[in-house]
Amino acid sequence: MVDPGEARPVQDYLAQEGLTLVAILATHHHPDHVGGIAELVAMKKVPVFGPKGEPIPELTHPVGQGDKVEIPGLAAAPTALAPSFDVLDIPGHTRAHVAYYGLGSLFCGDTLFACGCGRVFEGTAAQMLQSLTKLAALPDETKVYCGHEYTLANIKFARAVDPGNALLAAREERAQCLRDAGRPTLPSTLGEERATNPFLRCAEPAVVESANKYLGARASDPVRVFAAIREWKNKS
């Protein structure tokens, strides 16, 4: 289980699917990501992985960049190798935020969202951009499991920043269909994010131009462009 903000939906899902909790992975210390951990480990003692630089009292395995998380109970068959996840440091939203990458999937908490990114609370714009750039280097087919379903609102903003992007218009249609059917838009893929997420496209001329309009100044430095569209999004 990644980022259980509450225990009850996790317990319900485990019961409904006949699954057993084997480990908890936390990406950062915000209560809407860790608020359910105490109750879950009281019910069943499982390892709790999370960023070593953040105050999460229930952690049993503090982790950081370069560490590998191995979860034996997740093996698909007794003979299969236990899947492992690489830990990536991605500070910016919080000071020691981490992501987990493995099995072709990325669990990135509140750093990269579908067509958006998290707010910069404890780090700097430069750090956040560096973290996003690190995630963007993963393979195109990587499944992106982010922390919140903000996709439609994010696409609406992205269309203001990158109005000529036809892939963005197509993405909005797909996302709207999914939400109308009561389904999540997640996971997305990194290929899709690189093509449509303005926060991963701070060097694209169209995004630079929009940032300059917002700033009322000429700036091409990606950190300045990123900071401008992040501030614009906060106000929108």
How far apart are CB 93 and Zn ion at their closest, in Å?
6
Give whichever of 5 and 47 is closer to Zn ion, judged by the CB atom: 5
Residues within window 65-124 making contact with Zn ion, judged by CB under 5 A: 110
Active site residues: 28, 30, 32-33, 93, 110, 148
Q: Name the nearest CA neighbour of 127 among 223, 233, 203, 228.
A: 223
CA dist., res. 17 & res. 192, Å (int) = 30
Give whichever of 110 and 193 is closer to Zn ion, judged by the CB atom: 110
Q: Are 113 and 99 in contact (CB under 8 A)?
A: no
How far apart are CB 148 and Zn ion at their closest, in Å?
9
Q: Are 136 and 99 in contact (CB under 8 A)?
A: no
How far apart are CB 180 and Zn ion at their closest, in Å?
28
Q: How many residues bind Zn ion (CB under 5 A)?
A: 2
Give whichever of 30 and 171 is closer to Zn ion, judged by the CB atom: 30
Return the residue of 1, 25, 30, 127 that touches Zn ion, per CB under 5 A.
Answer: 30
Q: Are 193 and 144 in contact (CB under 8 A)?
A: yes
Q: Which residues of 62-88 are buried (b: 16+ CB within 10 A; e: fewer)?
A: bbeeebebebeeeeeeeeeeeeebebb
Residues near Zn ion (CB under 5 A)? 30, 110
